[in-house]
Chains A and B, each alone.
Chain A
Amino acid sequence: GDSVTQMEGPVTLSEEAFLTINCTYTATGYPSLFWYVQYPGEGLQLLLKATKADDKGSNKGFEATYRKETTSFHLEKGSVQVSDSAVYFCALRRGATNKLIFGTGTLLAVQP
């Protein structure tokens, strides 16, 4: 069945460091792909999305490119801040019912 695999965390970085969180997927067809962020004690918020191959989603300095050839959707940010500390979830969408299948989440901790 469809699945999403994320790199295990925690990822610990210093402020202003470069961030990459890896995400790969297994699915039939070409699902839409998403990154969600969960801050402590809160629900998930949509960070960015891409709907077809080579699309780049971007928001708040974060970017991810839909790579069909490697079935990947890695999240990147050029310079992280302490306020980016959160759990990041990669997800794919199954079209017929709009079901989102999530990866296991990656905890990012940014130190000042």
Chain B
Amino acid sequence: DTAVSQTPKYLVTQMGNDKSIKCEQNLGHDTMYWYKQDSKKFLKIMFSYNNKELIINETVPNRFSPKSPDKAHLNLHINSLELGDSAVYFCASSQDTASGYGYTFGSGTRLTVV
């Protein structure tokens, strides 16, 4: 059973389109995250939710909107895709914000905007 699963694994789309990436965790964790990894492997946090409440919202274009329908799911919707959005997007979860055990990551979604 995959602990943190993301769909799709690959996404190729044209500029200007709207797309969503879905993430689900079956670990019973309270906190979920979205990270963006660029072509140089640099990882930057985008958003975090704790029990469906947004707690981290980094400087990210308004075209990116996270949604957490319940604490096991965190989806990422991207409007009006641009070439610079091409990257690997990782979802992750942690037990909560206090225990400090680290994250469990999904396997990533490679987004290519053409």
The yes or no verdict on A and B being binding partners is yes
A: residues with CB less than 8 A from B are 32, 34, 36, 38, 41-46, 49, 51, 87, 89, 93, 95-102, 104-105, 107
Set of chain A residues within 8 Å of B104, measured between Cβ atoms: 46
B: residues with CB less than 8 A from A are 4, 31, 40-45, 48, 50, 55-56, 90, 92, 94, 96-98, 100-108
In the complex, the answer to whether A43 meets B107 with C-beta atoms within 8 Å is yes
Given contacts A98-B94, A99-B48, A105-B42, contact A43 B108 (CB under 8 A): yes
CB<8 Å pairs between A and B, sample of 23: A34-B102, A36-B105, A42-B108, A43-B4, A43-B105, A44-B103, A46-B103, A49-B101, A51-B100, A89-B43, A93-B100, A95-B98, A96-B97, A97-B55, A98-B96, A98-B97, A100-B102, A102-B42, A102-B43, A102-B44, A104-B41, A105-B42, A105-B43
